[in-house]
Amino acid sequence: MFTKILIANRGEIACRVAATARRLGIKTVAVYSEADAQARHVAACDEAILIGPAAARDSYLRADRILAAARASGAQAIHPGYGFLSENDAFAEACAAAGIVFIGPPASAIRAMGSKSAAKTLMEKAGVPLVPGYHGADQDGALLRRAADAIGYPVLIKASAGGGGKGMRIVETSGEFDAALASCQREAINSFGDDSVLVEKYLTRPRHIEIQVFADSHGECVYLFERDCSVQRRHQKVLEEAPAPGMSHERRRAMGEAAVAAARAVGYVGAGTVEFIANQDGSFYFMEMNTRLQVEHPVTEMITGTDLVEWQLRVACGEPLPCRQQDLSMSGHAIEARVYAENPDKGFLPAIGTLHYFCQPPALEFCTPARPLTAAAVAAEAAVATRPVVRIDSGVAQGDAISPYYDPMIAKLIVWAPTRDQACVAMVAALAQVEIAGLATNVAFLKRLVGSAPFRAADLDTGLIERHRDALLPAPCPASRHALALAAASILAAELRQAVGNSDPWADVGGWRMNSRLTRTLRFDDEVGARAASIAYSGDHWTFTLDGKSDDMLLVAAEGQRLALRLGHETVHGNAVRVGEMVHVFVDGEHAQLHWQDPMAHAGELEEEGGRLTAPMPGKIVALLVEQGASVQKGAPLLIMEAMKMEHTICAPHDGVVAELMYAVGDQVADGAQLIVFALGATPAAA
């Protein structure tokens, strides 16, 4: 076995490869870009080498720098993960030339499957069924249109070099063909540097079913059953599961054997995936082969009890496959959900930002060594085969950024349970525990999707999301009463904590100016409109009022962002996270995003031109802390106002001079009234 490998990737796949290597006692070398110096994958490896600036073409796609890093660190092999250089035959060749093992198939197999057109020609010869279509070398426009006419509409034009859902056009009629072809070719040349296309029959309501294959260098090749990846948006996978619902033994064997034939036809070695498009009647056709590990490989690991990265490492150093076809079996059902930084309501547009808060369900931690990695292993070890298992593969931690440079995937949530129904329930429960604040995500969308009737009924096809768009992407609804109660309580808890020092705020509530009955109104904007929640307190007794309904409120516990409230007869548990002026409340599976109209947030912000300091809200002046003409430093307390039953200190926004005090103690001031004329620098404004 290798003693040291280099991982030529980042994010969750780099962390995942490192975890297996560690378990096998193999040292790991990370490579990273300038944007990733603090990344989790760097920490997950034993060594790390900087390979260039953030842009992938200057770092993770620089074969020369990665090979130099491998040589410098003495790594015997390179694991390419997926994306980046994983399907680059020239890189596989360069590794071989440098005497370093490329953990993947031979360059010739990558090349053979690299063009969808050439791959289809090969598959035709190997007797693998193809979608009716044209995949010839002649790219004459009129010829392509005649081919489309002969196939019958709708047809799909695909970039031969395409991938990642790019370079595809659906054409409904012959008249639209030429324009669609031109636009597909444009995208193909821009994205892949190659404008050759193929034309296929466009299947309506198809399923995407793919077969995991594995071959060793001794001529053995097996299939590890199927994954159903039909639930897609923009021709890209969102949910993947194994096994495929409704798959019969006979069809599984037929598809498995077709996939093995495809792999054998190109002299395949290592992990690969043969993607098929299947009709509802079960007929299936070869679509493409991905000559690498696939993002969704964990669902296969979960049902087969294998570690596919371990298999890759063993096969790459010349060992035979760990088992034969007849030794492989499946148990239970696994589902993977891809948690993306994206906006489902804006056409699933990727989002960027900082993960200010990232809380995950308790799970089998992939990066912890010496813990079993698969559901079957857990089941065998703890005899808990009846209990769902959650696995999270993620390459980011709280505080990290999702940058515009790389894939916007935040994490993969994978659940395993004895049955599909149980796995669906477990996935919804697991997603309800994924709490992210700081950027847009698809978590709420995924929860609705996994819980939706068509998904629960396994009524799968690639159009599922589009067809059920209205139900899956409902208009935003007002934040719940529980959410607003938690938001209000969290704000008051933070203020009390500040007011009484860092001790338990709730113990001290009575002692903190709580001798009279006070009411505080907190204004928020939720995703629909303005909300006002008020809390009245006298002694240690609180009353919460929202939308005209009042309840006794008692804060039972406040620990960091975790709160427990008694609200009338209910106990409400949730997390409230402040990010700037936003309060994110996670309660009852809801993620309420509340913009708090903090009256103090802009207090003390100097309006530069006028040198005015204004009242943040209507109130009464209770103390003047400086005299007219005084020179003060930035942050110095100037006066105290009482407003909304609280005291607020107005501080100097800059170093400067108090040119004029406009009010005296006891005066009532209106919202926005100028309190102080404040001059920058040391010269009094009057001078």
Closer to ligand ADP at the Cβ: 83 or 574?
A: 83
Write the single-letter amino acid at 657.
Answer: V
List own/partner pairs for 551-559 with CB under 8 A and 24 or more apart. Answer: 553/485, 553/489, 555/489, 555/493, 555/506, 558/489, 558/490, 558/493, 558/504, 558/505, 558/506
Q: Give the count of beta carbons closer than 10 Å to the beta carbon of residue 494.
A: 14
When the beta carbons of 200 and 275 are compared against Mg ion, the nearer one is 275
Site string for ligand ADP, 72-111 (x = CB under 6 A): ----------xxx---------------------------
Residue 333 binds which entry of Mg ion, ligand ADP, none, CB below 5-8 Å type-dependent: none
Cα separation of 19 and 368, whole Å? Answer: 7
Return the number of the residue (292 or 531) whose C-beta is nearest Mg ion.
Answer: 292
Encoding tokens for residue 68? Answer: 């130099």
Residue pair 133/116 in contact (Cβ under 8 Å)? The answer is no
334, exposed or middle or buried, with CB in 10 Å at 0-12, 13-18, 19+? buried
Judged by CB under 5 A, which stretch of 29-37, 233-241, 273-281, 298-306 contacts Mg ion? 273-281
Cβ proximity of 643 and 599 under 8 Å: yes
Site string for ligand ADP, 432-471 (x = CB under 6 A): ------------------------------x---------
Binding to ligand ADP by residue 208, rule CB under 6 A?
A: yes
Residues 287, 375, 585, 632: which binds ligand ADP (CB under 6 A)? 287
Give the amino acid at 559. Answer: E
235 scored as a contact of ligand ADP (CB under 6 A): yes
| Residues taking part in catalysis | 292
Among 59, 196, 290, 575, binds ligand ADP (CB under 6 A): 290
| Nearer Cβ to Mg ion (187/590) | 187
Q: Between 290 and 304, name the residue whose CB sits nearer to ligand ADP.
A: 290
Tell me the CB-side half-sphere exposure of residue 209, using CA atoms within 13 A: 28
364 DSSP β-pair partners: 391
Closest CA to 671 of 596, 614, 623, 597: 614
214 binds, among Mg ion, ligand ADP, none (CB under 5 to 8 A by kind): none
Largest CA distance in the chain: 95
Integer CA distances (angstroms), 479 to 64, 160, 342, 465, in order = 53, 48, 21, 25
Query: Which CB atom, from 66 or from 128, has the smaller least distance to Mg ion?
Result: 128
At residue 177, what are phi and psi to the nearest 5 degrees? -60, -50
- Is 277 a residue that touches ligand ADP (CB under 6 A)? yes
| Range 3-22, binding ligand ADP (CB under 6 A) | 9, 11-13
State the nearest-atom distance from the C-beta of 469 to Mg ion, in Å: 23
Distance CA 449, CA 471 (A): 9
The region that residue 165 occupies, defined by phi over 0 for left and psi between -120 and 50 for alpha, beta otherwise, is: left
Query: What is the footprint of ligand ADP within residues 153-182 (CB under 6 A)?
Result: 156, 158, 162-165
Within residues 274-313, the interface with Mg ion by CB under 5 A covers 275
Nearest residue to ligand ADP, scored by beta-carbon proximity: 83
**Minimum CB–partner distance for residue 412 and Mg ion (Å):** 17
Number of residues that bind ligand ADP (CB under 6 A): 34
Distance of closest approach, residue 237 Cβ to Mg ion, in angstroms: 9
- Please state, in angstroms and as integers, the Cα–Cα distance from residue 151 to each residue in 199, 286, 358, 462, following that order: 9, 17, 50, 21
* Span 376-415, contacts to Mg ion by CB under 5 A: none
3-class SS of residue 525: strand
- Name the residue with the smallest CB distance to Mg ion: 275
Query: Which DSSP letter does residue 682 get?
Result: S
- Contact call for residue 409 and ligand ADP (CB under 6 A): yes
Given the rule CB under 6 A, which of 229-237, 312-320, 370-378, 441-449 is the region that contacts ligand ADP? Answer: 229-237
Stretch in the footprint of ligand ADP (CB under 6 A) among 230-238, 250-258, 306-314, 383-391: 230-238
208 binds, among Mg ion, ligand ADP, none (CB under 5 to 8 A by kind): ligand ADP
Backbone angles phi, psi at 533, to 5 degrees: -115, 135
3-class SS of residue 38: coil
Question: Candidates 19-27, 285-293, 362-370, 635-643 — which segment interacts with ligand ADP by CB under 6 A?
Answer: 285-293
Peptide bond into 298 cis (omega under 30): no
Nearer to ligand ADP, 22 or 338 (CB): 338
- 115 lines the binding site for ligand ADP (CB under 6 A): no
Tokens of 420: 């599909």
Cβ proximity to ligand ADP: between 235 and 356 the closer is 235
Q: Cis bond leading into 243, ω under 30°?
A: yes
User: What is the chain's Cα-based Rg?
Assistant: 31
The pattern of x and - marking residues 203 through 232 that bind Mg ion according to CB under 5 A reads ------------------------------
Query: Which one-letter amino acid corresponds to residue 189?
Result: I
Nearer to ligand ADP, 33 or 490 (CB): 33
Which residues bind to Mg ion, rule: CB under 5 A?
Answer: 275
Residues in contact with ligand ADP by CB under 6 A are: 9, 11-13, 82-84, 131, 156, 158, 162-165, 200-203, 206, 208, 232, 235-237, 275, 277, 287-288, 290, 294-295, 407, 409, 462
